[in-house]
A and B are shown apart, each in its own frame.
Chain A
């Protein structure tokens, strides 16, 4: 044993802690599949709420989809929306409680298919809310059907031979659409497949929360994510596949940043 290794006894001392579970996360076990990006993104949001000390001012809206039970994991007030309607709930809550921080959390089917109208109009009105968009290119909860963001050629249970443009159209880049709406204030696309990307995502989501205090418009962060179960891959394979296939089509970075 080398001299610089730290004993378990030392390791658990408070001053040696480098990471701990956010107080905003409940003790409920995540139901997500191993390696799923939802878990990391939940943790990021919880940490931001804790670090900004806004638990008593935050109201979250859960979607229909894999993250339908988000309210089981976050120790904050939350509402569970109908499929696609989270931005409508958030619109009303923020307008009725303008001093609160209101955020939505939606998957690709929720935000970019059934909820397209609510997404576009909330962003177009410049609702002063934070919208988190998890894009893993598949319907996870219902068992791996095609999403609006499924890549061309990508297999799903409703595109068993791969998504064919002539039949199913092209994948939709919702973030590139909302960036063009004057109501959006901050728009970013990030991922959580490497520690470095997790840090970048946290930075982006933190900004998306902080900007609510400015009352300048909608803050929208897409998190390109994996779906090991839906894609029928191991977590490691799915992250590799995501980096090689999803990211070229959904490139990461800030799409709209406020002028300083």
Chain B
């Protein structure tokens, strides 16, 4: 039986990657996620499963290695942090435009620019609204614990392959760096089979496989975009994931993901001790976003506080969900500052209850 181990979030992602049967990891070091590639380098994944691991010359090269590996039908992943993920956007757009599966990990740090190496949630827009050029979406998973960092690797692959679409684990520097107990799934074998669309060498029994996102014919390109949108509609209908905590009697609601959702649990406890009936809705998939689930609660709520380590990005989706029927306010810290539980309670009182 597998035992719990104490591990950093970044290391848990790396170990989970090997166990999920990853074929190739391609990455470039950047704080606060360099432990992912360091762990892989030390763990000798090639000896354990035959997994390929390569430190690329840049994030640009790394994401294009993913593009190549994904096109060859392989289970490939990369990890980076905010500035590195920005560099990857062109490649991510190509991968989405070529309908290829892959797993991306963003251990977010504060920005803009070189910003800071401290945790932040300010890449929400980039992750959930496409990020690169063109009409596309990533499937975005937001872990709130080291255990979820590990679990979302295989979940991310499953969703990516199911829909032939890149999936992203949107974490932050706090979850990447903190140590918690984690239990891993048993080792999954690497897949011996290739998808029928993969570039593995044209055999006489099939037509040649071409991986491209290019089509100069506007009518065909529009049809392709419509096909993509139909896929995204299906994902929105089937793949929304969230967690509700103490929502049954809630008059007020925190909406928060990742690190912020953990702090909100403490804030909730403090507020409830004062008799304030507040619950927490934690989106696990940031795209697709749990619009319906929040909308369905709007009848019972007097107000929602969207708590994010950003200037207020997810709040736009929360507002879209409630369609103006409930007051929605934002509270957050920026630049690598993590809000405290009492700050959040204070803001709930000021902006929602008293406001």
Contact = CB atoms under 8 A, between A and B. Distances in A.
Interface of A: 55-59, 61-62, 68-69, 71, 74-82, 85, 88-93, 95-97, 100, 117-118, 121
What interface size band does chain B fall in?
Answer: 35 or more
Contacts of B208: 71, 74-78
A217 to B, nearest CB: 16
B interface secondary structure, majority: mixed
Interface of B: 23-24, 26, 52, 54, 56-58, 60-62, 64-69, 71-72, 74, 76, 90-91, 94, 199-204, 208-214
B72 A80 contact: no
A92 B212 contact: no
A55 B202 contact: yes
18 contacts: A56-B201, A56-B203, A69-B214, A71-B208, A77-B200, A77-B201, A77-B202, A79-B68, A80-B212, A82-B67, A82-B90, A82-B94, A92-B24, A92-B52, A96-B23, A96-B76, A97-B200, A118-B57
Contacts of B24: 92, 95-96
Given A95-B24, A117-B58, A85 B69 contact: no
A118 B61 contact: yes
Query: Which A-B residue pairs are the 9 nearest by beta carbons?
Result: A89-B68, A88-B64, A80-B212, A85-B64, A77-B199, A92-B65, A92-B69, A121-B57, A92-B68
Given A57-B201, A76-B202, A77-B201, A96 B52 contact: yes
Contacts, number: 124
Given A88-B68, A92-B65, A117-B57, A59 B91 contact: no
Contacts of B68: 61, 79, 81, 88-93
A69 B74 CA distance: 24
Given A76-B202, A77-B210, A79-B211, A97 B64 contact: no
A61 B64 CA distance: 12
B202 A100 contact: no
A129 B273 CA distance: 66
Given A71-B212, A77-B209, A89-B71, A82 B202 contact: no
Given A77-B208, A79-B71, A92-B69, A100 B64 contact: no
Residue from the set B56, B60, B68, B90 with the largest chain A CB neighbour count within 10 Å: B68
Contacts of B76: 92, 96
Residue from the set A57, A68, A96 with the largest chain B CB neighbour count within 10 Å: A96
Given A61-B68, A77-B208, A93-B71, A82 B200 contact: no
Given A76-B201, A79-B211, A117-B60, 4 more contacts: A56-B204, A59-B200, A85-B67, A91-B54
B127 to A, nearest CB: 20
A55 B64 contact: no
B62 to A, nearest CB: 8
